[in-house]
Amino acid sequence: MKLFGKKNEPVIGLDIGSSSVRALQLSEQGSGYRIEHFAIEPVGAGVVVEKSVQDIEAISSAIDRAVRHSGSSAKSCAIAVSGSAVFTKTISLPANLAESDVESQVQIEANQYVPYPLDEVSLDFEVLGPSARNADLIDILLAASKSENVESRQDALDAAGLRAKVVDVEAFAIANAFELMRERDGLSKSEAVGVFDIGFDLTTLLVLRGGRVIYTRDHPFGGHQLKEEIIRRYEMSAEEAGFFERGEEGPEDFEVEVLEPFQLNVVHQISRALQFFASSNEYSPISTIYLSGGSSAQKGLASMVQQELGLTTRVADPVSGMDLSPSVAVTALKRNASNLMVAMGLALRGFD
């Protein structure tokens, strides 16, 4: 399975996460896009752990529900892999290599860099263009994922009567969605921008510049820590503890005693992630950061990050300004907008 497969037909972007499955399908409208279908379906605890599918039957059922509830009749999907089983690296090769020689040379390079036996990975590459460092070289993005990581998702799709037309990498899907926002928000393409994606059990810092991901690192932190604290402090069930995700009022002391300490922890995690980036070879000054993921749109979080870190901080919203099909549940779409970066980036792959 190609990790950078390119297809002309629109596809359903399926973001398979630890807490939910997000389904999004677009159509082209003039120079932009229209959202035709959308749905989000919850995923039970332990079904997906740190981006790895643990229960194929359960995730297949969630995918089936998401696609049916979205109203889409499409059978082709774009999915993404992520987490520790994914390896990416930009390599440089001589620009005068014949096309037929590039693939064989990539295999040689992959054997050197990929930290797994090549017979255990799905491997693909994409030519990025001339190297900024040397006009005699071309930059090539190498991507590899443990085959079991890809196959578990494909098996879940098969069981739901769907097929994967594109298998992408989550970080690249986020970058794809971000390009829509970059233009809308008036940011220069040459400016380095951070995206802090707060997942359920894994959080990722991505740094984007010139339409490319120049840095990415996962951190073992996520929204589940907030939910677990709610369950512990208020002796709630997991369902009851989801009140804040549904926009419902919580206990009287929730904001002061639980939410604010969690948000301060988010600030600490972002600061720590940026310190790791500052010590990397890819470092470039950042003045703007976007928050995405399930916990990113919490009231007051973006302003707290901006105040504490001195960075312009915005909540990611890849659906803002798009036309919507009458069948799209507007309230649910807007409530989950910051958690749709991967699904949006995947849906856009249908128009490559």
Contact 348, 19 (CB under 8 A): no
Single-letter amino acid, residue 281? N
Compute the distance between CA of residue 296 and CA of residue 300 in angstroms, rounded to an integer: 10
Taking 3-state DSSP, the helix, strand and coil percentages for the chain, each rounded to the nearest 5, stand at 40, 30, 30
What is the model's pLDDT at position 84?
A: 74
Given a contact cutoff of 8 angstroms between Cβ atoms, the answer to whether 314 and 291 are in contact is yes
For residue 230, what are its two tokens? 């709610």
The 10 Å Cβ neighbour count of residue 198 is: 26
Residue 246 domain flag: no
Give me the residue label for tokens 């369950």: 231
Q: How many structural domains does the chain have?
A: 1
Q: What is the CATH number of the domain that holds 73?
A: 3.30.420.40
Domain assignment present for residue 82? The answer is yes
State whether residue 142 is helix, strand or coil: strand
Closest to 38 in 3D by CA, of 16, 51, 48, 23: 23
In the numeric block, which tokens belong to residue 150?
Answer: 């890809």
**Residues 103/69, Cβ–Cβ less than 8 Å:** no
The whole domain housing 310 covers: 12-225+259-351
3-state secondary structure of 318: coil
CB atoms < 10 A from the CB of 62, how many? 24
**C-alpha count within 13 angstroms, C-beta hemisphere, residue 338:** 22
User: Is residue 173 one of the residues assigned to a domain?
Assistant: yes
Tokens for 161?
């009567």
Element (H, E) at 264: helix 260-278
| pLDDT for position 3 | 60
| Category of 113 on φ-ψ map: left (φ > 0), alpha (ψ -120 to 50) or beta | alpha
Residue with tokens 């010139």: 210
Residue 242 lies in a domain: no
Taking only the tens of pLDDT, the chain with its 352 residues reads 556 555 457 799 999 999 999 999 999 998 899 999 999 999 998 999 988 999 999 999 999 999 999 999 999 999 999 877 788 888 999 999 998 899 999 999 999 999 889 999 999 998 888 988 898 999 999 999 999 999 999 999 999 999 999 999 999 999 999 999 998 999 999 999 999 999 999 999 999 998 889 999 999 999 999 999 999 999 999 889 988 888 788 899 999 999 999 999 999 999 999 999 999 988 999 999 999 999 999 999 999 999 999 999 999 999 999 999 999 999 999 999 999 999 999 999 998 8
Residue 232 lies in a domain: no
Q: Is residue 190 part of a domain?
A: yes
Cα–Cα distance, 66 to 20 (Å, whole number): 9
Q: Let me know if residue 149 belongs to a domain.
A: yes
pLDDT of residue 2: 57
Does residue 254 fall inside a structural domain? no
The residue behind tokens 């807490």 is 19
